[in-house]
Structure formats: C-alpha cells, structure tokens
Amino acid sequence: MQRLTDRKILLGITGGIAAYKCAELARQLRGAGAEVRVVMTPAATEFITPLTLQALSGNPVHLHMLDAEAEAGMGHIELARWADLILVAPATADFMARLTAGQADDLLSTLCLASDAPVCLAPAMNQAMWRNAATQHNAEMLQQRNITLFGPGIGEQACGDIGPGRMLEPVEIAQLTAEQFGNAVLAGKTVFITAGPTREAIDPVRYISNHSSGKMGYALAQAAVEAGATVKLISGPVNLPAPAGLERVMVSSAEQMLVASLDGIERCDIFIASAAVADFRAADIAEHKMKKGKADEMVLRLVKNPDIVATVANHPQRPFTVGFAAETRDVVAYARDKLSRKRLDLIIANDVSRSDIGFNSDQNAVTVVSADAQQVLPETPKRQLGGQLIAMIAQQYHA
Ligand code: C5P
C-alpha cells in the first residue's frame, strides 16, 4: 500500500453501526503512510466518539459546518482543497441520497460538493435498504458521476439479516483506497532520478549554478515511489523535503552527481536525468576567497563537466535512459538531436523561453520525444505531470 504514502485522505463517517470499524480503518490508512482527517456527521457520533477518531487519526475531528473555532483553524473550503481523496465509510442510504441530490446540509455533504478530489463510498446498510429501488437508483447516479463505490459486501448483518449491504472490512477498504492512486506499474523496478541544479565552486564562498528548483525531479521521484519502484533520488542543492519512501543522496557538483549516479547503476532499471547540470566548472578552485584586486576584468577558466546522462546511457549495463531538454526554440528538433547524440531512449522536452512554466514554476508543459514518435502533455501542475510522465516512461520501458 506504498501508494498511500503522504496521501491526504479525508475520512467521512456517517451514522451506521459499521462506524465502529472506522477506528481500525483510520489506523490502517495512517499505517500505510496516509495523512487522515476525519469528518463525522452528527449521527455518526452516536456510534463512535470523536475522541477515538481524533486519537487514531492524529488530527482534530471536524463535526460542524458553522463552528467558528474550527473554521478559524482549517475552514471547510480549505479542508475540501486539502483532500487528495474523500472516503466516506460507512456511507448510509441517507447519505447516498443526499449526495445524489447535491445537498449541502452538513459538513460532510458540503465537502463532497466543494472538493475536486475523487470521492469513494463504502456503503453500509440493511440488505432491504440496499436493494430498495431508490438506493439502487442513487448508487447508479453516483457512479455515473465518477463516484466510486467500494462494495457493499454480502453476509450476515448487525440486524441479523443476511444479504448485500455489509460494509467491506477496513483492510479491504484501505487496499481499494490505495488502488485509486494508480497501478503499481513499476513494482520491483529500481529507478534513479537526478534533480535540481549543480553547484560548481569557484572559491570557498562562490559558485556557478542555475535557477533549477528541483520540483520536476522531485515530482517524478514521488510518482515513481507511488508506482511501486525502489527510488534513488540524486539531488543537487534544493529547498525541498525528501519525499517519503525513497533514498535521497544530496550532492553539490556535477562530478559528485556522476559518482552517485554510477554507484549501483548495474541494478538500475530506469535512469531519469532531470537535473540541470552545469556544463562547465572552474578549472581550478581557489583555496582562499578570491580578491577583487585592482584590475577591471577577471578571467575565469572553465572546463567541461562530464555528461552524466550520456555516461549512463553508454554504460555496458545501461538502464532505460530518459533525459530532459530545456530549449528556447525548435524544441522538438533539438530534443530529437540530443536523443540520438546521447543515445537516450526517451527525452522530455520543454520550452524554457516561457516564464510561466518550467524553471522554478509549479507548472510545466512538455513534449515526450522518442526516436519515432512524440506526444505533447499540455500545461499541468508538476506534481500531476510527474505521475503522467512516470506512466508514459513505464509504458515505453515495458514495451
Ligand atoms: O546537453 P543538455 O544539458 O542540454 O542535456 C540535458 C539533459 O542532459 C538533461 O537530461 C540533463 O540532466 C542531462 N545532463 C547531464 N549531465 C550534464 C549535462 C546534462 O546528465 N553534464
């Protein structure tokens, strides 16, 4: 269930007897690495206490729409935006009916309306209520709106009946929730990713570098973890926390990045070079801080850095190798030239002449170029683009 790592799950609990199982569900979700915030309807609090859910989720439980104190903390719109996924378990017949009608008469139904996140329901009710034409109609309407239903299961019910309407077990619900975050297309594979800028020292206090933020490489690394890969993220100096579930190796110069990239390369299946590596470094690094002196000019002699991605692509045990091409014009043509020159399998080209995407931005738009094809991925947040690119890389790798 690695795919739940760092996922923000809003767990909605409505008033059914199965609500008692949500304590275990909250524990399962958190155990799989998810961050959990719980919203309870008033009826749910009749079956299980908010205090139990607060202790198990590690966050205060949200109960009311018009609670000034709660709104001052994380307001309902903020909560709706926070969620990566809304999971309502148990979802009663009444809640399903209100959701179908688009009502917003309590906090949970309001959040479902106000959020862009996917919504999943684990229905739980008496078998006759589940079979009722009204509930069946609502279930169908909700699914048409891309709301996912987990179950219900068939079996013995709290009321003594036997039939459909049992809530699935917490472990099954947690598993189905994890599956909402894509398939484990890279399970068992090892992926190395370079990210961020390099710093080439001139003297003890100065260096040559560039504006790369590392956001694209970190998004790719996170997506590769979510796709089930074992990931080594080789990062230049950036201001980003290490995504959970991977090994991060911090480096500074291109030469250090090369050493870290080649370390264990024989077990690497896919190498993705997203780092903005400095092409040149100072021929000599001054031992002490360089002084201005009297001259109006100074000459810095530079020597070429090793090409990391080309070195990897030409290694005797070369992995499937993916590069990036940041260009300001003729983007695809230059990218294709780079693809063949460096012997890459794929190259991801982006136009860095635009200030709204690429370097330092949260958005990017790219063209994925192979020897015989190209595909445009339009402007998307880098986090989302990371997932799309990993899916495309995995597909090409397996092909
Ligand atoms: O040659 P250019 O710098 O435009 O190529 C960009 C691609 O090559 C990127 O994938 C970058 O990470 C990689 N690269 C590298 N080592 C270098 C220069 C670029 O791995 N010294």
CA distance 31 to 5: 9
CA distance 210 to 207: 10
**For 270-319, how does the pLDDT look when each residue is reduced to its tens digit (9 = 90+)?**
999 999 999 999 999 999 999 988 989 999 999 999 999 999 999 999 99
Omega of the bond prior to 241 within 30 degrees of 0, cis? no
| Ligand 1 lined by 305 (C-beta under 6 Å) | yes
b/e sequence 298-310, b meaning 16+ C-beta within 10 Å? eeeeeeebebbbb
Residue in the block written with tokens 């104190």: 69
Residue in the block written with tokens 């390099």: 198
Phi and psi dihedrals of 321, rounded to 5? -115, 130
**Number of the ligand 1 atom closest to the C-alpha atom of 305:** 21
CA distance 96 to 138: 7
| Average pLDDT estimate for 34-48 | 96
pLDDT exceeds 90 at position 20: yes
In the chain, where does DSSP find H-type helix?
22-31, 50-57, 68-73, 76-82, 93-101, 107-114, 127-131, 133-144, 170-179, 215-226, 254-262, 308-313, 331-341, 382-398
DSSP one-letter code for 289? P
Nearest to 181 by CA among 15, 387, 399: 387
**Number of other CB atoms surrounding residue 219 within 10 Å:** 26
pLDDT at residue 362, as a whole number: 76
**3-state DSSP call for residue 196?**
coil
CA distance 340 to 269: 20
Q: Which residue out of 259, 304, 308 has the highest number of ligand 1 atoms within 8 Å of its CB and is therefore the one to mutate? A: 308
Q: How far is the CA of 11 from the centre of ligand 1 (A)?
A: 44
Query: What dotted CATH number matches 190-398?
Result: 3.40.50.10300
Q: How far is the CA of 170 from the centre of ligand 1 (A)?
A: 47
| Ligand 1 lined by 308 (C-beta under 6 Å) | yes
pLDDT at residue 83, as a whole number: 94
Phi and psi dihedrals of 99, rounded to 5? -65, -40
pLDDT at residue 23, as a whole number: 96
pLDDT at residue 160, as a whole number: 86
| Ligand 1 lined by 277 (C-beta under 6 Å) | yes
pLDDT at residue 357, as a whole number: 64
Q: Whose CA is nearest to atom 21 of ligand 1?
A: 307
Angstrom distances, CA of residue 37 to CA of 12, 56, 61, 108, 222: 9, 10, 7, 12, 22
CA distance 310 to 10: 44
Task: Name the pLDDT band for 358 (thresholds 50, 70, 90).
Answer: low
Task: Name the pLDDT band for 35 (thresholds 50, 70, 90).
Answer: very high
Task: Name the pLDDT band for 68 (thresholds 50, 70, 90).
Answer: confident
| Ligand 1 lined by 323 (C-beta under 6 Å) | yes
pLDDT at residue 301, as a whole number: 97
Task: Name the pLDDT band for 53 (thresholds 50, 70, 90).
Answer: very high
| Ligand 1 lined by 324 (C-beta under 6 Å) | yes
pLDDT at residue 174, as a whole number: 95
CA distance 216 to 370: 20
Q: How far is the CA of 227 from the centre of ligand 1 (A)?
A: 25
**3-state DSSP call for residue 157?**
coil
Query: What dotted CATH number matches 2-179?
Result: 3.40.50.1950
**For 146-196, how does the pLDDT look when each residue is reduced to its tens digit (9 = 90+)?**
899 999 999 888 888 888 999 999 999 999 999 888 777 898 899 999 999
The residues pairing with 327 across neighbouring beta strands, listed in sequence order, are 351
Q: Which residue out of 255, 262, 277 has the highest number of ligand 1 atoms within 8 Å of its CB and is therefore the one to mutate? A: 277
Position 157, amino acid: Q
| Ligand 1 lined by 275 (C-beta under 6 Å) | yes
| Ligand 1 lined by 309 (C-beta under 6 Å) | yes
Task: Name the pLDDT band for 364 (thresholds 50, 70, 90).
Answer: confident
pLDDT at residue 339, as a whole number: 97
**Number of the ligand 1 atom closest to the C-alpha atom of 327:** 4
| Ligand 1 lined by 254 (C-beta under 6 Å) | yes
| Ligand 1 lined by 273 (C-beta under 6 Å) | yes
**For 382-394, how does the pLDDT look when each residue is reduced to its tens digit (9 = 90+)?**
777 898 899 999 9
Q: How far is the CA of 275 from the centre of ligand 1 (A)?
A: 7
Task: Kindly list the domain boundaries of the chain, sorted by start residue.
Answer: 2-179, 190-398
Q: Which residues participate in catalysis according to the annotation?
A: 159
pLDDT exceeds 80 at position 359: no
pLDDT exceeds 80 at position 114: yes
Angstrom distances, CA of residue 349 to CA of 324, 328, 331, 360, 378: 6, 10, 7, 16, 12
CA distance 6 to 246: 12
pLDDT at residue 363, as a whole number: 79
Q: How far is the CA of 338 from the centre of ligand 1 (A)?
A: 9
Q: One fold for both 2-179 and 190-398?
A: yes
Q: Whose CA is nearest to atom 4 of ligand 1?
A: 325
DSSP one-letter code for 357? S
Q: How far is the CA of 278 from the centre of ligand 1 (A)?
A: 8
Predicted model pTM? 0.64
Mean pLDDT of the chain: 93
Q: How far is the CA of 32 from the centre of ligand 1 (A)?
A: 36
Q: Please give the structure tokens belonging to residue 77.
A: 């719109």
**For 225-242, how does the pLDDT look when each residue is reduced to its tens digit (9 = 90+)?**
988 899 999 999 999 999
